[in-house]
Amino acid sequence: MTFRPDTARLAETAQQLMEKYHLPGLALGAVIAGEPAWQEAWGWADIAAKVPLTPGHRQRIASISKTTLGLNIMALADEGHLSLDSRIGDLLPDITFHGPADDLALRHLLTHTGGIGEAPNAGDLGKVFDKLFGESDPDTPLAELYADGITIEVEPGTKWAYANHGYLLLGEIISRLEGVPLPESLQRRVFEPLGMRDTDLNDVPHPDLSRGYSQADTPADRRLLDLLGIQLESDEPEDEHNLPGKYVRTWGNGGAGGVQSTVPDMLTYASALLHGAGGIVRPETFAAMTSPHWQPDQRLNGWGLSFAVARPYGHRRFGHGGAAFGGWNSTLAVFPDLDAALVIHVNLWRNDYDSAIVPPLTQAFLGERDPEPPDVPIDQRIIDTAPGVYELASNTPLTDFRTRFTPGRVLVSAANGGLMIRGQRGPWSEGAPLTAADPAQPDLLLVKNGAATERVVVLFDGAEVSGLRFQALFDLHRNPAAQPWP
């Protein structure tokens, strides 16, 4: 039986989100039965100029770009130019690596397990995002941009940490093997064969690009924009909420997130992915790309070769999200078992986009509701031994940057016969209840994160709780000596 989403419910949910979060514009698209089938848009592409947003407006899809690099480099692997085990030091001999880099291989960059962190080196931590969205000449050799080298903070293959700089290295490898700039290779290998006529990696303002926005409705919002260094065209909102963002190109070769596209082109892309990537790579290669290569617990999310993998509401999903400073958030969610896909474009950067905007639209697309937790108690061993402060176990600031940023440490405390979790920052900073997920799996708990319900796996040392493993692929460990923060 063909899966057919309720597009009326999807449109209704979109309009509710537009009003609730004061979104400047929102565009959606759906692939049904393997083919592009529906698209619609609401709001403005440019608030001040009163230009209505359409599905055909360009969007900075940011990190979704990484999936196109993954296809390009795996096509090169299919042709025998390299393999998943190819050493990065051999492919990029003029890049200096510090730390245990001898075994750093292509598979580690594709799966974010190379030991590379949010910044190239510890000295860059004070200006992390200058080397993601920062002015740099795209013609500058990568070895010059990384003149101080790149730190491999942990042994490759032992830890997952999202690494934009790993994809800049992948882009450089592609360019060197192809003998052309990365944008030209992606155009020839991916965009042109799939018929994506309004997609490129030129990473420059375009007449059809929607205007990007940020919001600072509260002092906390403003502090976050300042902390992240998000640049604005004006401190005055163009309506009562949305501040116009400044276009700042992605650093280096754009491999970490420089692609612009449209909803129609992304539906074409999603349809091709549902058909084995349209012949760009071998069928068995694409199957490997969309299968988990890093997934410490099958009940949590995982990572393939450039694709994130998960099973929301029991449906297999692969895809990626994208957040571009200056004002764009995007989602590509492909559901192969349903022969369907959902594309979301919002011309607004929100830190809580993945927990506030994506879950209601995904539920509407799949015809699901956020599940009520089962009315069962948490295992008594957990209630007795879980309370305490949980923190990162090692001093690895580069690969732990995102976790240190949010949630930081968490505090688990007993409350009303159950447990509460409170984070230093982020969605649990005001506290949230932990609930049992399944009486048959006592080590699996649930916690709300905005509109999403996330899974948390309890880790044990003998009979006592020793740590928590979160859906976002990080672990925090209980420190009996640590004191709660104010």
CATH code of the domain covering residue 461 = 2.40.128
Q: What percent of the chain has pLDDT over 70?
A: 100
| Whole-angstrom distance, CA of residue 422 vs CA of residue 429 | 5
**Distance, C-alpha 177 to centroid of its chain:** 27
| Whole-angstrom distance, CA of residue 484 vs CA of residue 250 | 39
User: The pTM is what?
Assistant: 0.96
Q: For the residues 375-393, what does the mean pLDDT come to? A: 96
Last residue of a domain, one of 337, 369, 401: 369
The pair of three-digit structure tokens given for residue 337, joined into one six-digit string = 């078992």
How high is the pLDDT of residue 51? 98
| Whole-angstrom distance, CA of residue 242 vs CA of residue 249 | 21
> Is the Cβ–Cβ distance between 215 and 348 less than 8 Å?
yes
In a domain, 2, yes or no: yes
Helices and strands counted in the chain (H then E): 15, 22
Tell me, yes or no, whether 179 and 212 share the same domain.
Answer: yes
In a domain, 484, yes or no: no
In a domain, 4, yes or no: yes
The pair of three-digit structure tokens given for residue 211, joined into one six-digit string = 């205007």
Tell me, yes or no, whether 282 and 402 share the same domain.
Answer: no
How high is the pLDDT of residue 126? 85
Last residue of a domain, one of 322, 344, 369: 369
How high is the pLDDT of residue 346? 98
Amino acid of residue 112: H
Half-sphere exposure of 282 (CA within 13 A, CB side): 9
> Is the Cβ–Cβ distance between 149 and 396 less than 8 Å?
no
How high is the pLDDT of residue 223? 83
Half-sphere exposure of 71 (CA within 13 A, CB side): 24
Q: What percent of the chain has pLDDT over 90?
A: 86
The tokens 């949980």 sit on which residue?
Answer: 390
Asked if residue 105 has pLDDT above 90, the reply is yes
Q: Tens of pLDDT along 75-86?
A: 999 999 999 999
* Ranges of H-type helices in 79-218: 88-91, 106-110, 142-145, 164-178, 182-186, 192-194
In a domain, 375, yes or no: no
Strand ranges (E), 152-275: 213-215, 242-244, 260-261
Reported as type and span, the H/E element at residue 274 is: helix 263-274
In a domain, 485, yes or no: no
Is the torsion defined by CA of 232, 27, 270, 295 positive or negative?
positive
Tabulate helix, strand, coil % of the chain (nearest 5): 30, 25, 45
How high is the pLDDT of residue 326? 87
Q: Tens of pLDDT along 160-169?
A: 999 999 999 9
How high is the pLDDT of residue 81? 98
How high is the pLDDT of residue 128? 84
> Is the Cβ–Cβ distance between 137 and 130 less than 8 Å?
no
Give the mean pLDDT of the chain. Answer: 95
Asked if residue 135 has pLDDT above 80, the reply is no
Domain that holds residue 62: 1-369
Q: For the residues 87-91, what does the mean pLDDT come to? A: 98
Tell me, yes or no, whether 327 and 206 share the same domain.
Answer: yes
| Whole-angstrom distance, CA of residue 483 vs CA of residue 480 | 8
Asked if residue 138 has pLDDT above 80, the reply is no
The tokens 């420190």 sit on which residue?
Answer: 479
Tell me, yes or no, whether 87 and 138 share the same domain.
Answer: yes
How do 475-478 and 464-470 pair as beta strands?
antiparallel
Tell me, yes or no, whether 342 and 459 share the same domain.
Answer: no
Last residue of a domain, one of 310, 339, 369: 369
Lowest mean pLDDT among 247-256, 340-349, 471-480: 247-256
Of the candidates 427, 447, 443, the residue with the CA atom closest to the CA atom of residue 435? 447
**Distance, C-alpha 61 to centroid of its chain:** 11
How high is the pLDDT of residue 379? 96
Query: Is residue 154 very low, low, confident or very high in pLDDT (cuts 50, 70, 90)?
Result: very high
Tell me, yes or no, whether 389 and 321 share the same domain.
Answer: no
Tell me, yes or no, whether 62 and 90 share the same domain.
Answer: yes
Tell me, yes or no, whether 338 and 400 share the same domain.
Answer: no
| Whole-angstrom distance, CA of residue 121 vs CA of residue 401 | 12
Q: For the residues 4-17, what does the mean pLDDT come to? A: 97
CATH code of the domain covering residue 116 = 3.40.710.10
Query: Is residue 373 very low, low, confident or very high in pLDDT (cuts 50, 70, 90)?
Result: confident
How high is the pLDDT of residue 318? 98
Q: Tens of pLDDT along 56-71?
A: 999 999 999 999 999 9
> Is the Cβ–Cβ distance between 83 and 106 less than 8 Å?
yes
How high is the pLDDT of residue 486? 80
| Whole-angstrom distance, CA of residue 478 vs CA of residue 481 | 9
The pair of three-digit structure tokens given for residue 311, joined into one six-digit string = 């099973």
Of the candidates 458, 311, 116, the residue with the CA atom closest to the CA atom of residue 302? 311
How high is the pLDDT of residue 419? 97
Q: For the residues 286-303, what does the mean pLDDT come to? A: 97
Tell me, yes or no, whether 182 and 264 share the same domain.
Answer: yes
* Total domains in the fold of the chain: 2
In a domain, 374, yes or no: no
Tell me, yes or no, whether 92 and 140 share the same domain.
Answer: yes
Query: Is residue 230 very low, low, confident or very high in pLDDT (cuts 50, 70, 90)?
Result: confident
Tell me, yes or no, whether 227 and 88 share the same domain.
Answer: yes
In a domain, 486, yes or no: no
| Whole-angstrom distance, CA of residue 192 vs CA of residue 426 | 41
Tell me, yes or no, whether 19 and 134 share the same domain.
Answer: yes
Residue 461 neighbours by CB under 8 Å, 6+ apart: none
CA 101 vs CA 82, 155, 169, 463: distances in Å: 18, 8, 14, 38
